[in-house]
Structures are given as C-alpha cells and as structure tokens.
Amino acid sequence: MKSEKNEKKGRRKLTKKIVDGLPLPEKGQVFYWDENLIGFGLRLTPTRKTYIAQARVNGTTRRATVGVHGIITADQAREKALRLLGEMADGKDPGAEKRKERAEQTTLREVADRYMELKRTKKGHPLKQASKNDIDRHVKTTFSDWADLPLASITRDMVGKRYQQALKKSEAQAVQGFRVLRAIYNWQRNNTKDKSGNPTMPENPCLAITDNSAWAYVPARDRKIPLKKVGLTWNLLRATLDSPGQTDAERTMTAAVMFAFLTGARWGEVAPLIWTQVDFDESAWGLPDPKNRKKITFPLNRQALEILKGQAGKHDVFVFPGRGKAGHVHRPTRLMRKMGEACGVAVSPHDLRRTYNAIGEACGIEYWKRKLLLGHSVGGDVTLSSYSETNDLTRLAPEAQQIADWIEQQGRIAGAENVVDLETKRRAKTNG
C-alpha cells in the first residue's frame, strides 16, 4: 500500500454525530479508524468524507471504497464494510472483483471506441484513419445488434453462427469484420487483468473460427481497368469535367478521381488532400504520414498539375472540398459506376492504383520505381544502389510523366476511333 500523508487521531466509534463534526483538511488526506470494527475507517480529503474498508488479502493490504458520507449513513457504511471485510478474510479482493465486473459490463461499442483512441502499433503509432473507419463500419453493420452488448457476453456459438451468415454475403468482409472483433477482444482482454496478471475476461470467442480452421481464404485483388479501355475511361472523365452541365460538386469529384488516376495515389490520400501538401513551384505533392509512416514527396506530372490548378481558389484548406461533415469529397460511388459501365469492369478507387501499376509496366518502367511511385516500401525487394532516396521521389518525374502521357495518348486513340466509327456508320446509312 502506498504511504499517505495522514493525521492519526486514534480510534473512535464512527457515528453520524462524530463524522459530521470532523473538519475537512485543507490539503492531503486524513484517516480515522473505528474502535470496534477493525478495518472500517473514514478518509477525509478537502472535498469529501469517504468510508473505507481495509484488510490484508493473500498477504497484501487492500482497500475498498464503501461510500461517501452524506450519501450513505455511518450505520449503512458499517454494515457494508463488515460484508467487504468478511469477503477479504475469505481471500476476495474487492478491487479486483470491481474491475472484473466493470470489464464484463463494458460494451463492444465502448471497447471499440477506446481501441481506436488508445491502440498503438508495434512502433508506437496510432491507428490510421482508414483502419478506424473499417472498425467503426463493422461495429455499425456486421455487429450492429451486438454493439451495446457487454463484450464479454459474446460467445463462441454467437461468433460461429454470425460468421457463417456473413460469409454468404461477402467472404472478404466477413474475414475483415471478425478479424476486427478478434483484435478488439484481445486488446480488451490484455488490458483487464487482475493483480496476478491473469485476464478477467473469458477467452476470445473468435477462437471458434480458428479452432475449426474456418477462416476463409481471400486472395489479393487484381481487378483493374483493361488497358485497351483506359483511353475510353479517361475520355469519360475528361468529358465529365469539361461538361457545362455538371455541378461544381460533380466537377470536384471528377477532378479528384482524375488526380488519383494520374498519380496512382490511394483514395484515402487524395480525398483529404490539403493545399499545404502541394508545391506548385517544384511540381510536387507530398504525404506527411502515408501508410508506411515515412514522409514522401511525389512528382507531379503535367496533367495532374493541370487538375490541381483547376481546383485552386475553391477552398482555403482542401484541394477537393465537399459538402459533408469531413469538409472534403467522399467516395465517388456514382462516378465509379459510370466508369465501370464504360470499361465493362466494376471499378473502385483502389482499382485505379492497380491500373496505374499496369500502365507503368506497359511503359517499361522498372518494378521498384513503380512501387515507389505508388508509395510502397521497397524493403529488401531490390538493391537501391542507383536510387538511395526513397522519401523524395521527384527524381522519378520522367516516369510519372510517361504514365500520364500514356493515359492521355490512349484517350486520343479512343477518341479517333470513335470519330472513325461514327463516320463509317454515317456513310453506311447514306449508301443504304
């Protein structure tokens, strides 16, 4: 037990009259102990008088709060203290029991919120916003009816049944959702232990999936826009951006998608892009805290630079402002649907990154350079003897420009083909 600064006044019977008459200290705390019930006491601080019970449990001194004077009476406190002291004599630690009870009553939603706030990676970094968004989404969808249940009340049987239901909708989302639940549960279990270091929560119910070897294999996605359809897709975006019938919000969303297409950047990096990350003088843009946690400066190709200049003056902070709560554009669902219809493949913002890589390969750009332009860590994949700088990538400006020029060229080719096709149809109709 930590030593306290207290004033020893001797033992006395703690009655309402006596407790009412005891003055509060100006600072620190003062302890009074009952003369009849050993271990029953009163702690005085500058703001309140609190009844306590103190005894040794398994050789260690433990103290429990009984109640605040004024909220409970001295007689009620004595009765409750007698019960607590009896439990301590039987080896029960009331503090540990209280922590266990509190842990058992904490809901999934509450633990998830704390996990997102307090969880740190092995290198001490907080969770990325994208990770937090995934956690929050699964709490609100996959586990919506569990969100307000105590986390410890979720059983193996519940997990097994819900997991099988989720697999029928989407294997990838089912695996992601239950990995989120597993991580949250493990974190809470590791942070709610008794004095001996033993978890106060049951084992992780997601072991029901592990023990049955039921984790579905989710292969890495390789979906992308077919290279022969890149020009057609680019022309759709260009026409949408230049159309006088589009609203400012639609133009901004289109500009953001075009920027992602031209740079291979993640949508979570493009949507919240702010002007301080853009350097027009150096034709560069940067990520202060990308996925690999290392600040990166990327080159801006001519086409991407044109997109950014078109956005200048629309917002003081965000390059691609939006009307939502975040202040910037959200997911381009409708535009992605149009692009998918044009190229014949369902398209997501992340598919643009895979398309960018495929275009780079078609241009003959080396693999490790493509990885750097995509913001990936090259690690031990290659020997960077010819490129020691992996944070400032402006030296890769020629490669970035080569990819953008290829996209634009494909747009011209697709446009010419459309003109030829229309002329052929016109002549056939005339001759007919």
Q: Please state the rounded mean pLDDT for residues 118-146.
A: 91
Instruction: Tell me what pLDDT residue 12 has.
Output: 81
pLDDT at position 1 is 44
Range from 165-169, 376-380, 388-392, 410-414 carrying the lowest mean pLDDT: 376-380
CA distances in angstroms from 316 to 260, 273, 288, 309, 321, listed in the order given: 21, 12, 19, 13, 9
Averaged confidence pLDDT in the chain: 88
221 vs 57, residue with greater confidence: 57
Q: What is the pLDDT of residue 104?
A: 67
To which H or E segment does residue 73 belong? none
What pLDDT score was predicted for residue 426? Answer: 55
DSSP class per residue in 315-365: -SSBSSB-SSTTSB----HHHHHHHHHHHTS---HHHHHHHHHHHHHHTT-
For helices 230-242 and 333-343, the axis angle rounded to 10 degrees is 140
Which CATH architecture does the domain made up of 11-92 adopt?
2-Layer Sandwich (3.30)
Query: What tens digit of pLDDT does each residue of 325-384 get?
Result: 889 999 999 999 999 999 998 899 999 999 999 999 999 999 999 999 998 876 555 545
- Lookup: tokens for 429: 């109709």
* Percent of the residues in the chain that have a pLDDT greater than 90, as a whole number: 66
What is 227-427's CATH number? 1.10.443.10
Of the candidates 8, 9, 16, the one whose C-alpha atom is nearest the C-alpha of residue 74 is 16
Q: What is the pLDDT of residue 422?
A: 47
- Per DSSP, the three-state class of 421 is helix
Task: Break the chain into its structural domains and give their ranges.
Answer: 11-92, 104-211, 227-427
Q: Which fold has domain 104-211?
A: DNA polymerase; domain 1 (1.10.150)
- Of 146, 330, 309, nearest to 241 by C-alpha is 309
**Which carries the bigger pLDDT value, residue 283 or residue 202?**
283
pLDDT tens string 26-73: 999 999 999 989 999 999 999 999 999 999 888 888 888 899 999 999
- Long-range contact pairs involving 68-72 (C-beta distance under 8 Å, separation at least 24): 69/19, 69/42
- pLDDT band at 124; cut points 50, 70, 90: confident
